[in-house]
Amino acid sequence: SVRFCICFNSILVFGILERIPGGIYVRGKNLPQVPTIYELSCYEMNFAMLVEDFLSNITFPEYRQMIVEVLMVVSTVLQRNPEVNFEPTLNLDDLLQDSINMFNQDKGKTMQKQTSEQTDAYDNTTSYA
């Protein structure tokens, strides 16, 4: 199970590295495109260990899981949309933070709308004519 996850992550990362010239950054550490994808294949254990070492900078398991999920989303987007590029690098920390900010903004709008609707509904049921 753990070995499958390591290999799966490395295949995702290899596909992303093929499309991002400057490589991938997380927690200040860079996994460069060159020479990585020219010296290793995505199925080599050395590449899997390199990816695992790259992700090992993430100390919190929750954050690491979110980074892996971001990698999955980025990989899917790049596979389905060949015209999309991240230039020159992909900073996973920034991408995740932007995603969290957008989620919080959407959640705030939804919460405001729900609160407003609940308040209006309450006002309508308690008004005296």
Of all residues in the chain, the percent with pLDDT exceeding 90 is 27
**Higher-scoring residue by pLDDT: 63, 1:** 63
Show contacts of 26-32: CB within 8 Å, 24+ apart. Answer: 26/54, 26/55, 26/57, 26/58, 26/67, 26/91, 26/92, 26/93, 27/57, 27/58, 27/93, 28/57, 29/54, 29/57, 30/89
pLDDT at 92: 93
pLDDT at 7 over 80: no
pLDDT at 4 over 50: no
**Higher-scoring residue by pLDDT: 103, 8:** 103
- Report pLDDT digits (tens) over 52-99: 889 888 889 999 999 999 999 999 999 899 888 877 999 999 999 998
- Report pLDDT digits (tens) over 112-127: 555 555 445 434 444 4
pLDDT at 127: 46
pLDDT at 77: 92
**Higher-scoring residue by pLDDT: 109, 1:** 109
